[in-house]
Each structure stands twice: as C-alpha cells, then as structure tokens.
Amino acid sequence: MIKHLRSAADLDAATATLILDTAAEMAALSGREVKKLPALRGRTVVNLFYEDSTRTRISFEAAAKRLSADVINFSAKGSSVSKGESLKDTALTLQAMGADAVVIRHPASGAPHRLANWVEGSVVNAGDGTHEHPTQALLDAYTMRSRLGRLDGLRVAIVGDVLHSRVARSNVLLLTTLGAQVTVVGPPTLIPLNVAAALSASTKVSYDLDSVIPDSDVVMMLRVQTERMQDSYFPSSREYSRRYGLDLRRMKQMQEHAIVMHPGPMNRGMEIAPEVADSPRSTIVEQVANGVSVRMAVLYLLLGGK
Amino acid sequence: MAYLLKGVSILGAAPVDLYIEKGVISGKPVDGATVVDATGLIALPGLVDVHTHLREPGREDAETVETGSRAAALGGYTAVCAMANTSPVADTAGVVEQVWRLGREAGLVDVQPIGAVTVGLAGKQMAELGAMATSAANVRIFSDDGFCVADPKLMRRALEYVKAFDGVIAQHAEEPRLTEGAQMHEGEVSTRLGLTGWPAVAEEAIIARDVLLAEHVGSRLHVCHVSTAGSVEVLRQAKARGVRVTAEVTPHHLLLTDELAAGYDPVFKVNPPLRTASDVAALRQAVLDGVIDVVATDHAPHAVQDKECEWSYARPGMLGLETALPIVLSVFGPQWDLIADRMSIAPARIAGLDGHGGDLTQAGTPANLTLVDPAASWVVDPAGLASRSRNTPYAGMTLPGRIVATFLRGEATVLDGKVAK
Amino acid sequence: MAQPRADAPSKIILEGSDLSRVVDRIAHQILEKTSGATGTVLLGIPTRGVPLAHRLAARIHAFEGVDVPVGSLDITLYRDDLRLQATRALGKTELPPGGIDGLRVILVDDVLFSGRSVRAALDALKDLGRPSSVQLAVLVDRGHRQLPIRADYVGKNIPTALSESVKVTLTEIDGADEVKLIGGLQ
Ligand SMILES: [Zn+2]
C-alpha cells in the first residue's frame, strides 16, 4: 500500500480499485446500528485545514471517527496557524503530538508534498491550491461505479474551469488510470493548453458542450467562480451559462442512463440549473455520502497495517 | 607581494611561469616572488558577474557584501555588479556609495553597484541616474531587476537618458500582466502541478519591444537572464540588424529544467523560471554563437525560512557565485577562450570595468585572475558554501573544476581553495 | 510466529471425500445439538469459513430439508494484530435477510488456533446485533489456544507443534479440497 495520498497519480489501477472495493465494504458496514469500527483505535488523525471547507473536514472527521481514530482538528482559525507559524513548524508540532496521519487542505499547490518531508506519518491531500483533490476524485469514481456499474470504457465529460480545478486534475488522472475516456470541456481560456500531454494522453478537449453531451455517460460540472469574469476568462455569467451551463434543454440531450455530477458547492443558475441539480440523474447527494466511505477506505488502507 | 605562478596554462596554452608584481602581470622574473605551484592549472582573467544580489543593506540575514564577496572570490570572481533591489533600494547616490564602500572594505572583489532605474523599483518615476553615475560608485549599469521596467515610455526615456554618461539599462524582461501570480514556466509541468504559469512570451514580448526601442533611440540595452528559445531568436535578429543589445544567461538556465519543480521544492524556484530542455539547448547554442554575450549568475541568496515553505510562498532565486564556473565547464567543456569571454571579458566591457577581463599574456595587465584545476571535481554541499544562505539547486551534484586561487590586483584573495584574508 | 518455509515438508491430513465426510459429520452434530437447526444462522468467517458455512447449510438441507440462513462476517477491522502486518484487504460482511437478532448464530471457520480470530468475530458480532446464543464450528482444531475459547463443533483435532502450520484448501476458492500439515521437526 502507498504511504501518502498526495495526488491521484500516486494510485495505480490496482490500488485505486482496492480503495473503491474497500469503500464499498465500508459503505455496507455503515448501515449498522453501531457505526464505529475499532480498526484505527489508538491512531491519531489530524485535520490540518488552512482553508475553510466544512464539508471536506466533516467528511474526513466522520471517516476517522467511524474507524475509532482520535481526531484533532487544527484549523487556520483560532490556532497558531493564523499567527503566521510556518507549515514546517506546524508539521514539527504535529509530529511531536504523534500524528499518524495528517489530512491537509491548503491554498498552495504542493503543500502536501512539502508536509510529507517534515512528518513521519501519512499525508492525505484534502485539496491543495489549484493542484489536486484526490479523495474527491475517488468518491466521484465510486459514485460512477455504483450508478453505472463500471469505470472501464465509461465516457466522462468534465465541464468548466479545468484550469483552476483541483477536482478536474485528480479526476482526469484517476479516471484515465481506471480506463475511462475523459473529455474536458470549457471555454479555451479555462482549459490548460497542454492538458493531455500534462495529465493523461487519452484526454480529449472540446470547446463545444452540445457536441459532447449526447456521447457522455457522465457529465461532471465544475464550480465556476464569478471572479474569473473580472480576469477576462469569459465575458459574463450569462454568456458562460449559455455556452457551458447544464440546463434542462441540454440535460434532455443526455442518454437515458447518463448521470450528472457536481463536486459542490454549486452555483445554481450558473454552471448548473436548479432543475438539473435536483433531477434523478443528479448524484450530488450520493457524492456526499460516498465521501465518508471512500475516506474511511483511504484512512484504513494508509493506517490499518504496519 | 609578488607571486610566481609556476607552470600555469593561460587559457589552455602551453605552461609558463607567470610573475605578478605591483598589481600587474610582470614581463620578467621577479626575485623573491612567492611560488604557487600551478602545474595543471588554468589561468583565466578574473571572472566578472554583471548580475549579483548581495542583499545588503536590508537582508543581512541572507547575505552581506562581505559574505557575498567571499563567495565570489571562491568562485573565481574579481568583480561583481550588485543589483539594486536592496532595502533601501539603491536608487540614490547615497545607497550606491554605501554598497561600493562596503565592497572596498571587504576587499575581496570589486563590488560595482548597479543603480535602480526607477525610484523604489516602482516603475513610476526615474531615479537620479546622473547622480549615481557621478558618485564615487561610478554607476554605469541601471536595472530594476526583480521587476521589469514595463512602462514603454519610461523605458524609452531611461534608454535615452543614460546615453549622456554611457550608461546601459539592464532589463529584467517580464511582462507583468502576463505573469500575475506566476510560479513556474507555463507548460506541461505547470499544468500537472497546478502552479500558475509564467509564459515564455512574457519575456519575449518585452525583449522584442525593448530592442525596437533601443534601435529607435540608438541606445545600449542589456537583457538580464534570457531564458527562452524565443528570446534567443529575437536577440539574434536584433543583433543581425545592428541593434546595440547585449544579453546574459544564468548557469542554471543552461543546465536545469522545469521538471525539477515536480517535488515542489522551492530551491528550484527562480525568476525567470527554469524552462524546458529545448530552451536549454537553444540557450547553450546562443552562448556558443555569441547571441548571448555573458554568463551571469543572478546569485540570489535567501534565508532558510524563505525557502523551507510552500512553493508559492517561497522567494525566487538561487545561489550562483560558487558554482557558476563549474556549471559552465560541465556544459561547454574546457573551451577556455569561450569561457573567458563570456564570464570575464564581455561582462567587464558591458559594465565598464576597465581593470578586469584583461589579457594575461600582456605585461602590465592588471593582475585580476583566477586559477582553476579542471581535473578536480567536487560534490556541492550547501553547508560548505561561503554564502550566508544555502539555497543552491546543485546540492549533492558532482561538478568539475575547482577554483584553486584568485588574485585581485595582484593580491591573493583565494589560495588553496580558501579565502586568503 | 515463525512460519514454516515454503519448501518445508508437508503431510496431507484430509483430502477430497475425507473432507466431505468431516463436513457431513459437523452438519449432523449441528442438527443434533440444535434440535434440527431451527432458529439458527450460519456465519462464515472469510475467507474459507464462508464456503464451509454454505456447505454445512447444503448438507443440513440434504439431511433434514431445513433451510438454514447463511451469511458472512468479516473480522479484519476487529483484529488485534492489524498493525503487525501490511494492511489487509477487507472481506465481505453479509447478514441473511432475517438478521441475527434473537437467533442462534453459529460462526464457521476453517482452523481454530489461538482463538484471537474468534474473539474478533465475537466483537464484530456484538456491533451487528444481539443473537440469543453464539456457537463455533471449525473444520480443524490444532490447539495452542491463547484465550478461553473452545469450539462447539470440531471436524478434526490435529495435534500440532507451534513450528508447524495447518493449510486448508477448498474447491470453491483453491480448486481442491485438502488439509495439510506443513513444517515442523520430522
Ligand atoms: Zn531578474
């Protein structure tokens, strides 16, 4: 098993599949009356969050607690982090506290890689800058597999601000590792110039959402921040929404079985219409529930053994 | 003191006995000269760096004029041009004279201050270039290095203004709007790492603009740390047209590539950023062709806390003085005439440093020289460097060429690979 | 504990039809001891306890026409020696549709040794529900208990040395039915 989960590129197909299979067992167990499992008793998991992300933190916290780990939340607010202590000094503190795993969310790309130099325990990337968010990709893959029964050969469209999206990067890497055919879709300003060469050779690029939708098994909408407008990535929310938003008309072009995903939080009316987000095709609520199972699997596989 | 450099090879020529007396190369034997066994050693004119950050005043925790001078002498340098981005900025006669005086006091290399082009490097108002030129520091190179003189009107005026005292503007070519938030070379690696890209065109566009401006006003332009193949092409065409432009490249841009960012270790973060292997190849060819005139270190010391952190928060820059010659030697091999030209003669000419880059075979040439053992190799140990900082990207690498001795105006600043005073 | 080397000498204790007869015997004992296996659930402990539980259910059905519900109970997350080895993959936990509450649960495993697996199974079971009683059926008991645990149904007692190991293979998983004793000073 791997020591750290810093990037979806850390996972080969066998390891990724093991995580998804383990997550399925965790999901089966979480329906029980007694939700706690003793596997990580005596282990300490630190949630080190330099960005507000209640959703992700709670998900990791629930996962660690269901495995009976001790959880320490170390957030930028109300700790020495906000007083400007360096990541390295914080790491040494966590090391002294005996952290077996550090789950880190950080606005700087690569912060988990740096952290791994300074702690002995496992490092789990819970989102770093505009780099990656590997557990999100795992829970997305898990959700696709649960809904559609497979990943190999699945046609997945990832739509929106691919340039700044850590979710997109991790998904492209993980899904192509597991045999899916990924197309990234968005305005050319928000698609990196060399995405296939950089991430995975089989990745396709399209600037035309309407041509991609009928051929997709999965349409994953990314959050688009309206601030990007100020920076001339696109002219207006209205134009963005018209060209790259998923509305009812576009959803009707999807195949019968195809699903709609969104990592959240959504900009309803911007990249996704409310009726689409709430439709039976949408997996948005499942994605949240699956997040806990997948994170339990990751923590178990990183910390459960020697 | 007089020296006899016994059996020394000047730029790879047949061994001779070279006498130094009264600060110059002596044409005849000198009685009682201290003998330095120079068997197997190459004599080069003392190296001249047109791009050094000494950090004093302001960041003495990273480097001082004294520690930087030691590093320079150990690297074979006899003169370094100290960049203006200190705190306070070297934008007045007072600050440049202070730096110049600190250099004299250290006495290991000639520290030639570079003056800022604009007040506070802010790119708004021209600094008192004339006052700096006529100060004791005798400033000839002006640069806002660290920042680009982005305003085309201000750049034009500065190019024109320094003609009155034969100055030169050294441009840090970086279109600021195209590099907002930039962290590394824009390419496959930046996409993979999720780091904001620094596109090659941001450098090339400024160089293209500035060679046209220099041509228009008939001024000299010097381009700092050229890093892309596209920049080389722009310079090649400008030179072919007769534009008075010179250019430098750093040792690290001749050797390292953006792939090194993969582990997010900021020791590889530098501005301009490490580029691709094809850029490296084009830069090497440009040094051979003379399209690039100078290898300059861009020696940029940084305190530990400014590098032992997240990539995005780290300051850009690398140490260079103690490794420059070995890197150049490893890249080009023992082409001693080429090395002497690009690392001593051409930079001395550009900086207007008359006593440096002289012909060591001529009696009366100021005895600014360095002795290199090309057969020796050494492993770079950051803790073993003389610089106050440790941010070398070459840690653990085995490099060819050891600097055995350096002489500044006939006095040994380095002997047996150690600082001599 | 030291494992015998791969090339250590081995001795076949049971194979093919011998093993089937042992399973039949356990099925008969269960029927006898539980008055016809009413109110009973068989829970196999992965990996090899699961097919054994299914075989027992099939034999009980063949002998008496009774359908005994079968499930599986993975104990990995409850083991006390997780950290002594590389991370283990999880097995399946599947309770029969009727659950286990108020029923007699018979845990089924291939080999009973230190008793630690059974203790982990009891811990896992307690988190899943409240059976009226719990019994244990094993194909082989090789002795060397480290905990106060005994089996209610034993297919075969095999006295062993600690330096030996017992290897069970089953057709469903391994392609053949066999019980082998490996290693030891011979
Ligand atoms: Zn610069």
User: Residues A139-191: pLDDT tens digits?
Assistant: 999 999 999 999 999 999 999 999 999 999 999 999 999 999 999 999 999 99
Please answer yes or no on whether B191 and A109 come within 8 Å at the CB atom: no
Is B51 marked as a binding-site residue? yes
Question: pLDDT-based confidence at A80, cuts 50/70/90?
Answer: low
Q: Which distant-in-sequence residues (6+ apart) come within 8 Å of B191 by Cβ? A: A192, A193, A194, A195, A198, A199, B197
Place of tokens 């001599």: B420
Encode burial over C31-69: b for 16+ CB neighbours within 10 A, e otherwise.
beebeebeebbbbbbbbbbbbbbbbbbebbeeeeeeebb
Is B37:B13 a contact under the CB 8 Å cutoff?
A: no
Whether A183 and A252 map to the same domain: the answer is yes
Q: Which residues of B carry out catalysis?
A: 298
Q: What's chain B's length in residues?
A: 421
Whether A103 and A38 map to the same domain: the answer is yes
- pLDDT, residue A77, reads 58
Any domain includes A3: no
Q: Give A228-252 pLDDT, tens digit per residue.
A: 878 889 999 999 999 999 999 999 9
Any domain includes A1: no
The vertex-B87 CA angle with B173 and B135, nearest 5°, equals: 85
* pLDDT of B384 strictly over 80: yes
Whether A118 and A192 map to the same domain: the answer is no
* B378 near A CB under 8 A: no
Whether A165 and A104 map to the same domain: the answer is no
pTM to 2 decimal places: 0.92
Which chain A residues are closer than 8 Å to B196 by Cβ?
130
**Which one-letter amino acid corresponds to residue A72?**
I
- pLDDT, residue C1, reads 45
* pLDDT of B247 strictly over 80: yes
Q: Which distant-in-sequence residues (6+ apart) come within 8 Å of B326 by Cβ? A: B378, B399, B400, B401, B402
Whether A127 and A259 map to the same domain: the answer is no
CA distance C95 to chain A (A): 11
Whether A89 and A145 map to the same domain: the answer is no
pLDDT average, residue stretch B342-348: 98
SS3 C14: strand
| Cis peptide preceding B176, ω within 30 of 0 | no
Is B222 marked as a binding-site residue? no
Residues flagged as binding site of A for L-aspartate: 83, 166, 223
CA B54/CA B317 separation, integer angstroms: 12
In this predicted structure, which of A288-292, B200-204, B292-296 has the lowest mean pLDDT?
Answer: A288-292
CA B407/CA B8 separation, integer angstroms: 14
| Cis peptide preceding B88, ω within 30 of 0 | yes
Give me chain A's average pLDDT, please.
93
* pLDDT of A29 strictly over 90: no
- B53 to B69, B86, B138, B317, B389: CA distances (angstroms): 11, 8, 18, 10, 12
Any domain includes A212: yes
Whether A236 and A144 map to the same domain: the answer is yes
Q: What average pLDDT values come out for chain C (186 residues) when binned by 10 residues?
A: 66 91 96 93 96 97 95 95 89 93 96 95 93 97 94 94 93 94 73
Least CB–CB distance from C83: residue in A18, A26, A305: A305
pLDDT average, residue stretch A106-133: 97
- pLDDT, residue B214, reads 98
Neighbours of A40 (CB within 10 A): 27
Cα–ligand 1 centroid distance for B247 (angstroms): 12
Which chain A residues are closer than 8 Å to B187 by Cβ?
194, 198
Q: How many domains does chain A have?
A: 2
DSSP classification of residue B342 = I
Pairing of strands B369-379, B42-45: antiparallel
Domain of A97 in residue numbering reads as 8-133+288-303
Give me chain B's average pLDDT, please.
97
CA distance C47 to chain A (A): 15
Q: Any idea what the CATH number is for the domain that residue A59 is in?
A: 3.40.50.1370
CA distance B188 to chain A (A): 4
Q: Provide the token pair at A209.
A: 């959402």
Whether A120 and A23 map to the same domain: the answer is yes
Whether A145 and A275 map to the same domain: the answer is yes
* B181 near A CB under 8 A: no
Whether A123 and A170 map to the same domain: the answer is no
Cross-strand pairs, A268: A272
- pLDDT, residue C7, reads 72
Please answer yes or no on whether A108 and B308 come within 8 Å at the CB atom: no
Is B120 marked as a binding-site residue? no
Q: Which distant-in-sequence residues (6+ apart) come within 8 Å of B172 by Cβ? A: B143, B144, B145, B146, B147, B148, B149, B224, B225
Q: What is the full DSSP assignment across B381-413?
A: -GGG-SSS----TTTT-EEEEEEEEEEETTEEE
- pLDDT, residue A240, reads 94
Q: Provide the token pair at B241.
A: 């047209």
Q: Provide the token pair at A265.
A: 């939080």
Q: Which distant-in-sequence residues (6+ apart) come within 8 Å of B72 by Cβ? A: B49, B52, B80, B108, B109, B321
Question: pLDDT-based confidence at B360, cuts 50/70/90?
Answer: very high
All structural domains of chain C: 17-158 (3.40.50.2020)
pLDDT average, residue stretch B69-98: 97
Please answer yes or no on whether A88 and B308 come within 8 Å at the CB atom: yes
Whether A168 and A257 map to the same domain: the answer is yes
Whether A234 and A299 map to the same domain: the answer is no
B35's enclosing H/E stretch is strand B34-37
Cα–ligand 1 centroid distance for B182 (angstroms): 14
Percent of chain B, pLDDT > 70? Answer: 100
Q: What is the full DSSP assignment across B237-264?
A: HHHHHT--EEEEE-TGGGT--GGGGGG-
Assess whether A32 carries a catalytic annotation: no
Q: Give A271-288 pLDDT, tens digit per residue.
A: 999 999 999 999 998 998
Give which of C47, C75, C77, C125 to mutate to test A binding, by max A Cβ within 10 Å.
C77
Any domain includes A2: no
- pLDDT, residue A81, reads 54
CA A256/CA A217 separation, integer angstroms: 9
CA distance A164 to chain C (A): 35
